Structure 1
Amino acid sequence: MSPLPRAITDWFAAKGWSPHPHQQAMLARAGDPATLLIAPTGGGKTMAGFLPTLAELGETPPEGLHTLYVSPLKALAADIKRNLRTPVEEIGLPIRIEDRTGDTSATRKKRQRADPPHILLTTPESLALLTSYEDAGRTFSGLKRVVVDEIHALAESKRGDQLMLALARLETLCPGLRRVGLSATVEDPGAMARLLARHPDRCEIVLADPGPDPDIAMLQTEELPPWSGGGAAYAIPAVLAQIRRHRTTLIFHNTRAQAEIFFHNLWLANDDALPIGIHHGSLDRGQRERVEAAMVRGDLRAVVCTGSLDLGIDWGDVDLVVQVGAPKNVKRLVQRIGRANHRYNAPSKALLVPANRFEVVECVAALEAVRAHALDGDPRGPGPLDVLCQQILIAACSGPFAADALYDEMRCAGPYTELAREDFDDCLAFCATGGYALRAYDKWQRLQQRPDGLWQLRDPRSAQRIRMNIGTIQDTDTLKVRMRGRGGRALGEVEEGFAASLTQGDTFLIGGQIVRYEGLREMTVEVSRDAGRKPRVATFMGTKFATSTQLSARILEMFAQENWPQLPRHTADWLALQRRVSHLPQAGRLLIESFAHDGQAHTCVYGFAGRNAQQTLGLLLTKRMEELALAPLGFVASDYATLIWGLEPLADPAPLFDPAALRDGLEGWLAGNAVMKRTFRASATIAGLIERNIPASARKTGRQATFSSDILYDTLVKYDPGHLMLRITRAEAERGLVDFGRIEEMLRRVGDRIDHVTLERITPLAAPLLLEIGRVPVAGQAEERLMAEEAARLMQVSGLEGLSGR
């Protein structure tokens, strides 16, 4: 064990504390190449990660950077700096601790490169930027340890791929670098260890005592959940009652728009004028910081929030977490629950609020998974090539490189251990010339090979523009929202497409208040206060979660029960009625219901594949139905089913679900669909083909940038269909927005076991889909037939039917 300096042990003793067993274990493994610590929220993970650093730096620390701390959030890095400085200052250790994020001033960033602190707290994007400078070797010359906090949050996105490539670069600069990963929610510790470590078999996993199980239940309400919808307005009185009983309550939502609606309804019902705030990523940073400061002071009784408060920041005296809407993911729910009673060995208290009747089932399934300590998560597969292209450009900014050495370095990054040399060479060629169809344009001629074989930037001045575009977070095109008038207060931002749909006088919600759209001035949405009318809701950015594969499987397991004592009576009766009039979906079979409703033939497909996949399934099935002359009119999808309506009843569903036919349908649909262009733009931005940030003199609006990316996409499709960026786009579209992999998983799971039930009327399980938002019309044979029939009817009513043949 690395001995703690006397000053540190005395500090612990003065506080009446002693290191937890997992903190002692981290000290004992301080010299290991890699260590993954899994400890519950409030269990002192951060201190466990830093104790070896404090022990090594001691009372006379050497100059230079010793430990790098990487966080998913800028706010978390700032919070850790505040919390870490307290013991360092109280002990009297002469250790410099600084953070470096997008909010750090340029002057300070420059000074940090020349004279780094002992401990630097940063984000993946800022770390990648640091490694791009020519003096990176000097900046990191003394680096001994890297601590990655909330590693699970990074591992699930391209930010994690970027970080692991940056760690591989640091390993080249600092051989023998030790890596530490910290998390409270890891479903597969072995897989996470392989991601973190340069040598997977040499990553130690430390499992802390998980502490007591959380006190978690479903909120009891007088009013029953509605059949459909996502606002949970019915639960407002019950939620307010819970706020009154607790010191500070966090009320989590899955989307920013839902958070705005709930906050508005909560405020209207807040007769006691309890101090309640709202916090999400689309709000002005100043407003978010004011809410955060009020939380730390204990001034707020509740905060309505989204994933912006998910991670390990200690936000004051929170003693209750409320999750509004089904959590969709058990791991995310556990993370949010941990925000309450942020203390070791103290149970967290949480309540789930289903937004509708089906979500009652999903919430109960999630509760059972939490109690069984069964986390969910799907493997991400190999590292994406657009991130690899960006890393090649980053390497070129730092100086000339040998292709063989860079390839070997990248294969030391967990997501890229199986990287094929052919794929690396394709990425290098793309970075050098832009690819076959674009090589004639100077704009994309970025790298050149020297006579000695090393690669370098063709124009050193391009390094600035490359650095301006480092990162994998894709920002939706947004416009700032401000109160009208000189010096009007900033409120936040809305999507450009939403702003374009507004006309003067329209009202919408932002920051919990109703505002009136006054106009667009210099790319800023100007508004005034207007509390008199029912608002529209701004189209906010952010992830729309799909129910995880594991949680969907648990729901299907519940359906297999004879009865449901764990469900409220109203929901159990609903499922029993479904079983009597039709079937309940089963894990190894595909249930399809056909029935007439409102004069049209309806078909409901219970795939339980998640919203994106069910949406894609609707597109593909209606295309197949069109080919089979079934005249579909439209469809709507939820996480568990797709409902299709049309003019002809479905007699045999088997031809619709031929895997080869569905794959062919996907090919044809993707070829001419806007999804591909959106995905292309995102991947091309990460890979460096399209610049997200450019000098002020050359800036474009988001719409102009989209137009330019569309032209690029069409050019490559026509002249270079095998281009690297098109291959990347295809893989990303299938994995992300389209989620075709879950459709294929569903088809493998059910095989040819299809239960087709024909009924006289709609079933209990299908009924909520009639109220689901997001209906997609299908323009085809059915529309033409209806128009012809309507024209004939009008002619008959007018007595002119005989004229149609003249």
Structure 2
Amino acid sequence: MTALPPRFTDWFASRGWQIHPHQQDMLDRAADPALLLIAPTGGGKTLAGFLPTLVELSEGAHEGLHTLYVSPLKALATDIKRNLTTPVTEMGLPVRIEDRTGDTSATRKKRQRADPPHILLTTPESLALLTSYEDAPRMFAGLKRIVVDEIHALSESKRGDQLMLALSRLQAMCPGLRRVGLSATVEDPAAIASFLARHPDPCEILYADPGPDPDIAMLETDAAPPWSGGGGRYAIPAVLEQVRKHKTTLIFHNTRAQAEIFFHELWLQNEDALPIGIHHGSLSREQRNRVEQAMVAGELRAIVCTGSLDLGIDWGDVDLVIQIGAPKNVKRLVQRIGRANHRYNAPSKALLVPANRFEVVECVAALQAVKERDLDGDPRGPGPRDVLCQHILIRAAAGPFAADDLYAEVSSAGAYAGLSRAQFDACLDFVATGGYALRAYDQWKRLKQDEDGLWHLRDPRAGQRIRQNIGTIMDTDLLKVRLKNRRGGTPLGEIEEGFAATLTPGDTFLMGGQIVRYEGLREMVVEVTRRADREPKIATFMGTKFATSTQLSERILRMFRQDDWPDLPKDTRDWLHLQRERSQLPQTDRILIESFPHDGREHTCVYGFAGRNAMQTLGLLLTARMEQQGLHPMGFVATDYATLIWGLDTLVHPEPLFDRDDLHETFETWLAGNAVMKRTFKQSAAISGLIERTTRGQRKSGKQATFSADILYDVLLKYDPDHLLMDITREEALKGLVDFGRIEDMLMRTAGRVDHVVLDRVTPLAAPLFLEAGRVPVEGAATERLLAEEAARLMDTAGLDMDPGAEKRHWRVPY
């Protein structure tokens, strides 16, 4: 066992602390090449990650950068700096700590490269930028350790892939570099360990005592949840009552728009004038900082927030978390619950508020999963190649390289361990020339090879442009919002460019919980003034629309096999019993299809439980197949669990609609000409460096980037459909916006088994879908038929006769 130096034991004793077993384990295993620590929120995992570093630096012999800390959030890096500075100062350690994010001044960044601190706290994007400089080997020469915090969050996105590629570069510069991953919520520890480790080196997994189960329940409300919707406004009186009973409450929402709406309604009903703030990613940095400072100072009783406060920031004395709307993902729920009572061995307290009647079932399923510590998550696929292309550009900006060396580095990153040399060479060729269809254009000829076989930037000045476009977060469709005045106005945040395009002067919308009036667009900035209206036009922020996880969907389907549901409220229990009486409840291994007439149209409800994106895609595919069969579909609407289709004809034989080969062929045809492909292409083109988001320091507007991307997409589709970027686009579309993989999983799970129930009226489970927003019309033969029938009716009313046999529908007036 490695003993703590006396000044450390004295410091622990002065606070009445003892070193936790998992902190001692991290100290004992400090020399291991890779460690993953899984510890509960408030369990001291950050100190555990840094303890070996502080002990090593306490001797005062190290010069330069010793440890890098990487977090998903700039605010988390700032928070860790504040918390880490306390023991360093109180123990008098000779350690300099600094952070480096997008908010750090250019002067300070330049100084950090010349004279790096002992501990540097940063983000994946800033680290990638640091590796792109020619002096990177000098800056990182003494690096011994890298600590990746909240590694589960990074492992789920391209930011994590970018980070691991940057680590492969650091490891080549610093062969003895040790890696540490920290997390409280990991559903597959072995997968995260493989993601973190340098392939094929092992990564030891250390577990802390998980602590007590959280105190989590559904919020009791006087009003029952509505049949549809996602705002949870019915529960505001009960939420306010909970806020009054607690010191600080975090009120989580799944989307920014829902957070804005709820915050506005909360203020309208806040008769006690309780101090309440709002925090989400579309607000300006200044506004977020004010809320964060108020939280730390204990000045706020509640904060309405989104995923911007998911991660391990220690925000003051939070003693209650309320989740509005079904969490959609158990792991995310556990992460959010951990924000309350941020102390070791103190149970977190949380309340769930289902936004509608079906979400009651989903919330109960999530509660059961939390109690059983059954986390969910999808397995990681291979490392995305658009991120690899960007990494090759970053490597070229740092100086000449040999392809063999870079391939060896890249394939040491866990997600890219399976990357073939042919795949790597295709990415290198694309970065160097633009690919077959684009190699004639100088702007995409970015690399050249010298006589020694080393690759260089063709134009050394390109390094600056590469650095300006580093990153995998796509935000080109956002416009700044400012209050209008002569001096430029106070920044309020950002809104989608597409939403801004729908505004006309005088329109009102919510921003930071306030109603603002759109005055105009000046130099790509949305100018607004404040208004005191009660009913705004709501901004549709770009926040992620979460889909219910596969594991949570399966848990709901298992619940449906029960004879009764004692954990559900009576009205929800009665609803499910009525569904079973009128029709049947969906099953795991079968697709339930209900057909019934309503309001003069024939309806078909398909229960697939594949998540919102997949059910939306299924609606598009099924209506296309129905159109081919002459069934005249007119539109559909989708939720996480079902797709409701309406049209003119009764569906008699649904089984052929779900033929896997036919459905796949329909999908391929639909996808090739769909806007989803262009949208995905734009994102991958920006990440891979084919199009630049920033030119000469100026950010392009979303329209400019879309215009460039659309032209390139059309050119490649016509002249080079097998281009690397087209292949990447198809991969990304399949697993992203359309989620076709979950449709295939559904088809494999049900293996062609279909239960078709024909009824004379709407069923209880289908009824809420009629109240869902987001209806998608189908323009096809149904429209023509309705027009023809309406024309015939009008002509008959007028005493005219339409000859049904006339090829061109000539009109005949009877004598």
TM tier, smaller: over 0.9
Aligned to 1:537, the other structure's residue is in SS state coil
State yes or no: 1:83 paired with 2:90: no
Aligned length: 805
Aligned to 1:625, the other structure's residue is in SS state helix
State yes or no: 1:531 paired with 2:518: no
The equivalent residue for 2:657 is 656
Structure 1 gaps of 5+ residues are: none
The equivalent residue for 2:518 is 517
Moved more, 469-478 or 161-170: 469-478
Give, in angstroms, the shift of residue 661 of structure 1: 0.8
Give, in angstroms, the shift of residue 398 of structure 1: 1.0
8 Å CA contact 1:5–1:59 kept in 2: the answer is no
CA–CA distance in 2 between the matches of 1:46 and 1:759?
A: 58
The equivalent residue for 1:732 is 732
The equivalent residue for 2:770 is 770
The equivalent residue for 2:506 is 505
CA–CA distance in 2 between the matches of 1:423 and 1:30?
A: 36
CA–CA distance in 2 between the matches of 1:54 and 1:704?
A: 49
8 Å CA contact 2:659–2:752 kept in 1: the answer is no
State yes or no: 1:140 paired with 2:140: yes
8 Å CA contact 2:329–2:549 kept in 1: the answer is yes
Q: Deviations over 1:149-200 (max 9, x none)?
A: 0000000000111111111111100001100000000001111111111145
Counterpart of 2:126, as a letter, is S
CA–CA distance in 2 between the matches of 1:518 and 1:699?
A: 23
Counterpart of 1:639, as a letter, is D
The equivalent residue for 1:634 is 635
The equivalent residue for 1:184 is 184
Give, in angstroms, the shift of residue 421 of structure 1: 0.8
The equivalent residue for 1:156 is 156
State yes or no: 1:345 paired with 2:352: no
The equivalent residue for 1:583 is 584
The equivalent residue for 1:553 is 554
Counterpart of 1:796, as a letter, is D
Give, in angstroms, the shift of residue 522 of structure 1: 2.1
The equivalent residue for 2:464 is 464
Matching of residues 52-63 of structure 1 within 5 Å: 52-63=52-63
The equivalent residue for 1:679 is 680
CA–CA distance in 2 between the matches of 1:2 and 1:167?
A: 28
8 Å CA contact 2:476–2:700 kept in 1: the answer is no
CA–CA distance in 1 between the matches of 2:539 and 2:462?
A: 38
The equivalent residue for 1:274 is 274
Change (3 A) 1:543 1:19: same
CA–CA distance in 2 between the matches of 1:676 and 1:398?
A: 33
Give, in angstroms, the shift of residue 531 of structure 1: 2.1
Counterpart of 1:494, as a letter, is I
CA–CA distance in 1 between the matches of 2:296 and 2:811?
A: 76
Counterpart of 2:811, as a letter, is S
Q: Deviations over 1:321-355 (max 9, x none)?
A: 00000000000000000000000000000000000
Aligned to 2:749, the other structure's residue is in SS state helix
The equivalent residue for 1:23 is 23
CA–CA distance in 1 between the matches of 2:700 and 2:471?
A: 19
CA–CA distance in 2 between the matches of 1:478 and 1:797?
A: 53
8 Å CA contact 1:2–1:52 kept in 2: the answer is no
Percent identity of paired positions between Structure 1 and Structure 2: 75
Aligned to 1:573, the other structure's residue is in SS state helix
Change (3 A) 1:200 1:360: farther
8 Å CA contact 1:263–1:304 kept in 2: the answer is yes
8 Å CA contact 1:254–1:327 kept in 2: the answer is yes
8 Å CA contact 1:2–1:30 kept in 2: the answer is no
Matching of residues 479-498 of structure 1 within 5 Å: 479-487=479-487, 488-498=489-499
Give, in angstroms, the shift of residue 525 of structure 1: 1.5
CA–CA distance in 1 between the matches of 2:765 and 2:476?
A: 35
CA–CA distance in 2 between the matches of 1:805 and 1:706?
A: 51
CA–CA distance in 2 between the matches of 1:546 and 1:275?
A: 32
Give, in angstroms, the shift of residue 733 of structure 1: 0.3
Q: Deviations over 1:361-417 (max 9, x none)?
A: 000000000000000001121001000101111111111111111111111001000
CA–CA distance in 1 between the matches of 2:441 and 2:503?
A: 39
State yes or no: 1:422 paired with 2:429: no
Matching of residues 129-528 of structure 1 within 5 Å: 129-199=129-199, 202-487=202-487, 488-528=489-529
CA–CA distance in 2 between the matches of 1:699 and 1:274?
A: 40
Aligned to 1:24, the other structure's residue is in SS state helix
Give, in angstroms, the shift of residue 458 of structure 1: 0.7
Aligned to 1:241, the other structure's residue is in SS state helix
8 Å CA contact 2:257–2:543 kept in 1: the answer is no
CA–CA distance in 2 between the matches of 1:231 and 1:400?
A: 54
Q: Deviations over 1:256-275 (max 9, x none)?
A: 00000000111000000000
Counterpart of 2:740, as a letter, is F
The equivalent residue for 2:743 is 743
8 Å CA contact 1:2–1:55 kept in 2: the answer is no
Counterpart of 1:510, as a letter, is M
State yes or no: 1:10 paired with 2:17: no
CA–CA distance in 1 between the matches of 2:534 and 2:504?
A: 15
State yes or no: 1:805 paired with 2:806: no
State yes or no: 1:611 paired with 2:612: yes
Aligned to 2:470, the other structure's residue is in SS state coil
Moved >4 Å (runs of 4+): none
Give, in angstroms, the shift of residue 109 of structure 1: 1.0
Counterpart of 1:412, as a letter, is S
The equivalent residue for 1:670 is 671
8 Å CA contact 1:504–1:518 kept in 2: the answer is yes
Counterpart of 1:805, as a letter, is R
Moved more, 567-576 or 794-803: 794-803
Aligned to 1:601, the other structure's residue is in SS state strand
CA–CA distance in 1 between the matches of 2:363 and 2:504?
A: 40
Q: Deviations over 1:449-492 (max 9, x none)?
A: 11111111111110000111111111141111122222322211
CA–CA distance in 2 between the matches of 1:215 and 1:483?
A: 43
8 Å CA contact 1:437–1:720 kept in 2: the answer is yes
Aligned to 2:519, the other structure's residue is in SS state strand
Give, in angstroms, the shift of residue 533 of structure 1: 4.5
Aligned to 1:244, the other structure's residue is in SS state helix
Q: Deviations over 1:750-800 (max 9, x none)?
A: 012110000000100000000111100000000111111112222233334
CA–CA distance in 1 between the matches of 2:244 and 2:206?
A: 40
Give, in angstroms, the shift of residue 571 of structure 1: 0.4
CA–CA distance in 2 between the matches of 1:84 and 1:660?
A: 57
8 Å CA contact 1:193–1:200 kept in 2: the answer is no
Counterpart of 1:518, as a letter, is E
8 Å CA contact 2:596–2:760 kept in 1: the answer is yes
Give, in angstroms, the shift of residue 3 of structure 1: 3.2
8 Å CA contact 2:57–2:94 kept in 1: the answer is no
Aligned to 2:401, the other structure's residue is in SS state coil
Q: Deviations over 1:77-125 (max 9, x none)?
A: 0000010001100111110000111111111111111111000000001
CA–CA distance in 2 between the matches of 1:392 and 1:622?
A: 43
The equivalent residue for 1:572 is 573
Aligned to 1:448, the other structure's residue is in SS state strand
The equivalent residue for 1:709 is 709
Q: Deviations over 1:291-341 (max 9, x none)?
A: 000000000000000000000000000000000000000000000000000
Give, in angstroms, the shift of residue 804 of structure 1: 2.7
8 Å CA contact 1:61–1:94 kept in 2: the answer is no
Structure 2 gaps of 5+ residues are: 803-809
Aligned to 1:691, the other structure's residue is in SS state coil
Counterpart of 1:328, as a letter, is K
Give, in angstroms, the shift of residue 699 of structure 1: 5.7
8 Å CA contact 1:433–1:444 kept in 2: the answer is yes
